[in-house]
Amino acid sequence: MKRTTRDITKICVRPDDELLAAFSAIGRDVLGMALVLADDGTLIGVVTDGDIRRKVIERKTLDLKVRDVMNASPTTMKATSKDDELIRKRSHKIKHIPLLDEAGKPVDIFTERFIPVAEPSLGDEEMMNVFECVASGWISSGGQFVRDFEELFAKYCGSKFAISTSNGTTALHLALAALGLTSGDEAIVPALTFIATANAVTYTGARAVLADVSRETWNIDPAEIERKITRRTKAIIPVHLYGLPADMDRVMEIARRNSLFVVEDAAEAHGASVSGRKVGSIGDAACFSFYGNKIITTGEGGMVTTDNEELARKMRILRDHGMNPERRYFHDVVGFNYRMTNIQAALGVAQLRKIDSLIAKKQRILKRYESNLSGVAGISFMPRGKSKESVCWLVTILVDAPYRLSRDQLAEKLREGEVDSRPVFLPVSEMPPYASDEKFPNADFVSARGLTLPTSPNLSDAEVERICAIIRTST
């Protein structure tokens, strides 16, 4: 815990300010709070996004001022307080303590926030879009933001069509269903991926066939794909793991030679590219997730991109209960309710406008980690590829000998230091629905040693150093 060196003036608001001003101030710093000052500069309250949310729900209106939502009795201390006094005052509920001078004006904040693995970067444009959406009354799946988001995302990926969905998993299922996967078919997926990749295949009645990954890329090994192809194989689902594109040149060549569909699982790789082509524009279809920890977010939400007009048409019908687009409430086929809401899309439009800056921030964070941890024996980073242009979704390291601690022991050390981390995905073959006696040595190797570190675009240089110091001193 420490006294900050941040410029607190940027998180100050007045009691008569509108809620948007409070949201803006809260979004300018990672503390998640704003200070409310009287005209003479003295502190009269604090406000958090939680305070705003609770009061809006209680009052059922957005027509509120800061004074209506603020906590007028915050815990404060004198700027001359000693650190041990401040430490005793801090608790699970009291994470940030404004420090006041003799006149009652804030001069500093005593804090040490718990650093999460990921958190969204939301600002004024997201708030304005959501307010506009609410004001319009179009909050469900109809609305202009849905149409705008689909059009803008297709353009960003270099695809002709984009079909928004309720989440990334439904995007995968929708694409596979529209391609006609069914009972008796097989789709080849990497053994190292989030379970949704395999589950989406299972939803169609087809069988998910696991292929080991390459130790050099952590992505599906093309040689293993070829080994797993049978007469039942209908599709290959390469995953662009943690933002590193799979070897799409070889995947596409194998698919063409064997008349197979390719569905890119790009849930973690928004903006990555292969030979100048963005992921999402290479396979027959590609699926993205906009979950809260992804590069851009809509809270939940997903998208399928494709250049195939007929496939896009089928997906739009299946997404909307199988309803005939020319005859309302007439359902030609059994479909799904996989639609994205206009509120989600309102966030997505704002997020997409700043995706390049978010990617750049994450890449800079990765470089800071690499610089700080260079030379630490037993700590290595996920390979980033050679000819491929990867993006950094989450900074991911391998913890191996001669590092003194195991991966799980290091995670515990980080947790003791108020830093979150998470292990790399477990191999799909370890899950009961997909249990197999077959060995996947490379997936097992990476999974047992892989650890993801905080990679929020809000992460400061000092916080990266704090995380790296724990890793360095644990050797």
Token pair 């990266």 in the structure block, residue: 464
> Cα separation of 396 and 150, whole Å?
30
Strand partners, 452: 396, 422
Beta carbons within 10 angstroms of residue 412's beta carbon:
14
Task: Give me 142's structure tokens.
Answer: 């109809």
Tell me which of 294, 314, 362, 388 is the catalytic residue.
294
Task: Give me 93's structure tokens.
Answer: 């509920």
Query: How many angstroms separate the most distant Cα atoms in the chain?
Result: 80
> Cα separation of 403 and 122, whole Å?
37
Amino acid at 452: T
> Cα separation of 16 and 28, whole Å?
19
Task: Give me 265's structure tokens.
Answer: 């699982």
Amino acid at 311: L
Question: Coil, strand or helix: which one is 239?
Answer: strand
Is 294 annotated as catalytic? yes
> Cα separation of 340 and 320, whole Å?
10
> Cα separation of 157 and 251, whole Å?
19
Task: Give me 422's structure tokens.
Answer: 């998470």
Give every CB contact of residue 42 below 8 A, 6+ residues apart in sequence: 103, 104, 105
Beta-strand pair 302-306/277-278: unpaired
> Cα separation of 314 and 116, whole Å?
40
Q: Which residues have a catalytic role annotated?
A: 294
